Amino acid sequence: MIKVTFMGAGSTIFAKNVLGDIMCTPALREVDIALYDIDSNRLNESLAMLNNINQNVNDGKAIITPYLGEENRRAALQGANYVVNAIQVGGYDPCTITDFEIAKKFGLRQTIADTLGIGGIFRALRTIPVLFSFARDMEEVCPDAWLLNYTNPMASLTGAMLRHTGVKTVGLCHSVQVCADTLLKSVDMPTDDVQFHIAGINHMAWLLDIRRHGQDLYPEIKRRAAALQGKHDDMVRHEIMKTFGYYVTESSEHNAEYMPYWIKRNYPELIERFNIPLDEYPRRCVEQIAQWEQQKQELTHDAHLTHTRTHEYASYIIEAMETDRPYKIGGNVLNTGLITNLPNEACVEVPCLVDGQGITPCYVGNLPEQLAALNRTNINTQLLTIEAAVTHKREAIYHAALLDPHTSAELSIDDIRQLCDALIEAHGNWLPAYH
């Protein structure tokens, strides 16, 4: 019987998808599931929900055990074969609120702030120390386990784990799975029988090739995209495709803050023109919290609750490793010469083969130079954020922010330093001491 430990099990909807998927997979149904969280209410809600799913779709074959608090973390990890990470350090309140509101005082606006930008930097600085503490436990009590990381900022967290711990880690994001379909639907083209090739970095990987039965679909896609009338929800990505030649994996609201072209005080008309939703993530958080108050009764008290396998990668990865039946994913891994015009220290998102031998990334070669150049602007900040988390040098935080495309396009050197200092002070004990 394999053991799967879910870190951040209070993420109830996501726990339902990942662990429900596992219980729906015939080869994995007899599974030992350890649920770990530091919030007893959310942990118990997830436990009740998963117990119902276990009975209804899995004939009760899974063993599900809750582990509350740091004092029980090692026990949750003991003997695990797979560890799924879905934590959010500091949560929406106070830390996400802090990331947005302090930045606003300096005139810096954000949309999502979980991957890059000043919000992504400080989310990484809060989270990397916690992941390193997980790694120390894993190296002792489950040294052969795979860590499947779903937490953002994906590249910074996964890169930190791969470069500074001994834990086998892969970063997983669903943006690769939905990229081609999203683009084709936006231009009213069929999505069946499509083959595609995607590589780059997380949230800024590139749809390098898209075909049906050998025919290149990009010319028709671009023709239809140019003919679209009126506003839609993907205008930034369409403009990126028009300008740089290729479609990018993650949404327009995300990519609006990864580049210096969109959110600009001197060009406020761009927000309206490209339909950019400022403060989108806080708005989603408020809505999701309200929705959860309604949903939790249905999910946690429904004795007839069932589940259908989703497209999340985790169950397919575990199934491929356990059965030695190959499966292809888009994984976040260390760039060991995979993308030849990106830094070797970078965490890149590339096709990977999963089988009984583990995860084998595929060689990509050079990206088109304009795409590699855009990636490098983001990688600069990711690498310096990791350096700050490892060295605890305040100067490395400054460097990460000074090289961030959006932050540096809006603020002066002095403003960026002061913004970093203000965020360090506001986050207090959510961060280690920086000297």
Q: How far is 109 from 432, CA to CA, in rounded Å?
A: 26
Query: Hey, how many other C-beta atoms are within 10 angstroms of the C-beta on 40?
Result: 12
Six token digits for residue 9: 């099990």
Looking only at the bridges linking them, the beta strands covering 82-85 and 2-7 are parallel
Go through 210-228 and write b for each residue having 16 or more CB atoms within 10 A of its CB, e for each that does not: bebeeeebbeebbeebeee
Q: How far is 228 from 152, CA to CA, in rounded Å?
A: 33
Query: Any residues with CB less than 8 A from the CB of 181 and at least 6 apart, and which?
Result: 191, 194
Annotated catalytic residue within 174, 254, 304, 311 = 174
Is 392 in the active site? no
Sign of the C-alpha dihedral, residues 388, 389, 391, 393?
A: positive
Residue 89 to residues 6, 92, 293, 426, Cα–Cα distance (Å): 15, 9, 21, 15
What are the backbone dihedrals phi and psi of residue 38, each rounded to the nearest 5 degrees, phi first? -105, 0
The catalytic site residues sit at 174
